[in-house]
Amino acid sequence: QKEVEQNSGPLSVPEGAIASLNCTYSDRGSQSFFWYRQYSGKSPELIMSIYSNGDKEDGRFTAQLNKASQYVSLLIRDSQPSDSATYLCAVDYTGTASKLTFGTGTRLQVTL
């Protein structure tokens, strides 16, 4: 059973701080990794993808991947109240036909 683990939270950070969201996965053969943001009552929205070890930055978001430790993280710099949402980690084990396995998500609360 391939699994993706996330702390459900809530993770509470003050406005302007760095939010760090973590995810571990069970299958070393995993190929692709994704972070989705889901606001309450809405559908998941893709915000980051990462495929190789290291960091990938996009605006205030940085995804970090460590395949040896089977660990992927998402950093959100200068957190804003509008970042308050549930962040879903997703892993593509197949590398081909896009079969994503999702974690339960971490709820982030950015406080004023």
Q: Taking the CA atoms of the chain, what radius of gyration do you get in angstroms?
A: 13
Binding string, residues 16-45; x marks residues near other proteins by CB under 8 A: ---------------xx-x-------xxxx
Whether the upstream peptide bond of residue 10 has omega within 30° of 0, thus cis, is yes
53 forms part of the interface with other proteins (CB under 8 A): no
- 46 near other proteins (CB under 8 A): yes
- For other proteins, the closer of residues 38 and 70 by Cβ is 38
From the list 29, 82, 98, 112, which residue makes contact with other proteins (rule: CB under 8 A)?
98
Q: What string of DSSP letters covers 52-78? A: SSEEEEETTEEEEEETTTTEEEEEESS
| Interface residues toward other proteins, by CB under 8 A | 4, 31-32, 34, 42-46, 49, 88, 90, 92, 96-105
